Amino acid sequence: MQAAIEAGKEAENNWRTSFHNLRGNLTDELRAEHSQRIASRELADEFSGLLKELALDKQEAILKGCGSGKEFVESHGEAFTGFEDLHLQSTLRNVSPSLLWAIKLRIHRE
């Protein structure tokens, strides 16, 4: 992109030099060169605008990705907590009451 900008500046300088050397007389060749230069400049401006739009679209997509990532992590945390609660309840139902009483006493002593 930078090379195209530099080439455009050089072409403009060359055109101005030629125009000056011809003392302001526009030849068909200079007219065609001028039209080509203007078209190239407009095209470069359009591409620059498109690049800016794409950069904004990219930033928006990144922000949306971050938002959906956060939702995913929160959803995973909720699902994991629910699974852990169910597993703990199931395990506690199968543990002998005397073992639970011993653990409770040990925790209370500490």
The pLDDT, as a whole number, for residue 41 is 82
Nearest to 9 by CA among 52, 50, 17, 30: 17
What pLDDT digit, counting tens, does each position of 58-83 carry?
999 999 888 888 889 999 999 999 99
Contact indicator for 33, 15 with CB cutoff of 8 Å: yes
Residue 1 has pLDDT above 70, yes or no: no
Q: What angle do CA 41, 30, 39 make, to 5 degrees?
A: 20
Tell me what pLDDT residue 15 has. Answer: 73
> Domain residues for 81?
2-109
Task: State the total domains in the chain.
Answer: 1
27: left (phi over 0), alpha (psi -120 to 50) or beta: beta
